[in-house]
């Protein structure tokens, strides 16, 4: 059976991806950091529909946790087919002169370092160089990497810009090892993340500037993630799918 590990799958886009992947035949490793109850609800919902899933606690910005996470997923499900690097955070909107060193560290560790560490551990399971059978990696970036998110969170935008560069480089590094690396760049998706930016109704404020005139649903991003993770996208590597309502 194919196995997908999704980081930050207790809520939002990660949870929607977990439900979709299970419906389409994957065993799903549902990673969370703090929201155990939410992760367990995702697992329950998958199991009720006859799917296979398990919740795994790990702070993916912590190297020891990441190593343990991949070991636990291997013990439970065997070889990994797909990794979705979805976990991410943002902090209160502000201009750059108000961003502290500590905040930069939190943002880059949670969004960028975590993605590097998880890619590294996935390569050790997927690459034929380590007796793996290949696989797919999908990074959840953000359209902020293109816009820079001025006056809101340049730090977050830059942390996702680094994820874009990682996607391009790693796709080429792994192309002849049967591992494809791609990314989605969402924007304006209805999830809890906007509240942590200090503006829960951010989408409402800007929706008239979005060509499709609405925010997106987590499931609409999950469809793009799943396509990139699946065999349906077999001739694509190092690409980006923008799920942004046309902005
Ligand atoms: P969300 O609803 O706030 O969910 C974030 C998820 O990430 C939660 O499951 C959270 O788990 C997990 N997480 C955060 N830090 C973690 C860590 N250190 N270790 C493990 N898990 C961690 O956010 P979302 O909107 O679904 O965002 C998912 C991804 O999409 C993020 O990378 C985000 O940057 C990106 N994105 C979202 C939007 C949007 O409009 N929503 C736009 C562009 C990009 P815990 O609660 O357990 O910590």
Banded pLDDT at 238 (limits 50, 70, 90)? very high
Ligand 1 centroid–CA 14 distance in Å is: 7
User: Quick one: which of 207, 221, 96, 206 has its CA closest to 153?
Assistant: 96
Q: Which ligand 1 atom sits nearest the alpha carbon of residue 36?
A: 47
pTM of the model: 0.98
Q: Kindly give, in sequence order, each residue whose CB lies less than 8 Å from that of residue 52, ignoring residues fewer than 6 positions away.
A: 1, 22, 27, 28, 46, 77
Domain CATH for 124? 3.40.50.720
Banded pLDDT at 117 (limits 50, 70, 90)? very high
pLDDT number for residue 143: 98
Q: Which ligand 1 atom sits nearest the alpha carbon of residue 61?
A: 18
pLDDT number for residue 127: 98
User: Quick one: which of 115, 199, 116, 99 has its CA closest to 155?
Assistant: 99
pLDDT digits (tens, 9 = 90+) for 95-106: 999 999 999 999
Q: Which ligand 1 atom sits nearest the alpha carbon of residue 221?
A: 30
pLDDT digits (tens, 9 = 90+) for 159-194: 999 999 999 999 999 999 999 999 999 999 999 999
pLDDT number for residue 118: 99
Residue list, ligand 1 pocket, CB within 6 Å? 7-8, 10-14, 31-35, 59-61, 86-89, 110, 114, 140, 142, 186-189, 191-193
Show the beta-strand stretches assigned E in the chain: 3-6, 27-32, 53-57, 82-85, 135-140, 179-186, 240-243
Distance of CA 100 to the CA centre of its chain: 25
Domains of the chain: total: 1
Residues labelled catalytic: 156
Banded pLDDT at 229 (limits 50, 70, 90)? very high
Ligand 1 centroid–CA 8 distance in Å is: 6
| Rounded distance between C-alpha atoms, residue 211 and residue 215, angstroms | 10
Containing structural domain, residue 133: 3-243
Banded pLDDT at 13 (limits 50, 70, 90)? very high
């Amino acid at each position: 059976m194919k196995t997908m590990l999704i980081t930050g799958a207790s809520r939002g886009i990660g949870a929607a991806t977990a439900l979709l992947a299970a419906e389409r035949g994957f065993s799903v490793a549902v990673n969370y950091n703090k929201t155990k109850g939410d992760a367990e609800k995702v697992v329950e919902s998958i199991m009720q529909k006859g799917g296979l899933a398990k919740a795994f606690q790990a702070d993916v910005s912590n190297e020891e946790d990441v190593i343990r996470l991949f070991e636990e997923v291997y013990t439970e499900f065997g070889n990994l087919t797909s990794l979705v690097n979805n976990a991410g955070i943002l902090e209160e909107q502000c201009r750059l002169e108000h961003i502290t060193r500590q905040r930069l560290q939190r943002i880059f560790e949670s969004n960028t370092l975590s993605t590097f560490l998880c890619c590294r551990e996935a390569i050790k399971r997927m690459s034929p160089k380590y007796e793996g059978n290949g696989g797919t990696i999908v990074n959840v970036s953000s359209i902020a990497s293109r816009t820079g998110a001025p006056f809101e969170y340049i730090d977050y935008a830059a942390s996702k810009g680094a994820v874009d560069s990682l996607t391009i480089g790693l796709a080429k590094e792994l192309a002849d090892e049967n591992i494809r690396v791609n990314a989605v760049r969402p924007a304006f998706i209805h999830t809890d993340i906007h509240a942590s930016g200090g503006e829960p109704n951010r989408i409402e404020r800007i929706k008239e500037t979005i060509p499709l005139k609405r925010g997106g649903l987590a499931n609409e991003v999950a469809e793009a993630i799943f396509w990139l993770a699946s065999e349906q996208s077999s001739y694509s590597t190092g690409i980006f799918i923008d799920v942004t309502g046309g902005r």
